[in-house]
Amino acid sequence: MPMSLNPDALIWRLHQDGERDRLQEVFGKVLMMTILEQHIPGVKPYKMKRRGLFKTSVSRVWDSVLTPDQVDEIEYKFKALEPYLNV
């Protein structure tokens, strides 16, 4: 199974293949980032920029500047997801 799948697609494929342990591992990492998005405004645009989907993390929806501690927390969670991200 390719490691470069989108995390959501990978979760679905692991579910279909019955790979419960690996499914739990990947889902847990995605869930941690999802929870972080609820607590720190600006995570989603930062994540999109980090993945190379956007050139900037500026948003019309919220005007937030991430603190260095918030960026560290996002990067920590993002690092766990990197093996499952498309470039």
Chain segment 24-55, per-residue pLDDT in tens:
999 999 999 889 988 888 888 888 888 777 88
pTM, full prediction: 0.71
Q: Which whole-number Å values give the CA distances from 12 to 23, 25, 51, in the listed order?
A: 8, 13, 21
Give mean pLDDT, residues 59-66: 73
Q: Alpha helix (H) ranges present in 18-67?
A: 20-39, 43-50
**CA–CA gap between residue 4 and residue 18 (Å, rounded):** 19
Confirm if 22 and 12 have CB atoms less than 8 A apart. no
Listed in sequence order, the residues at least 6 apart from 4 whose beta carbon sits closer than 8 Å to its beta carbon are 84, 85, 86, 87
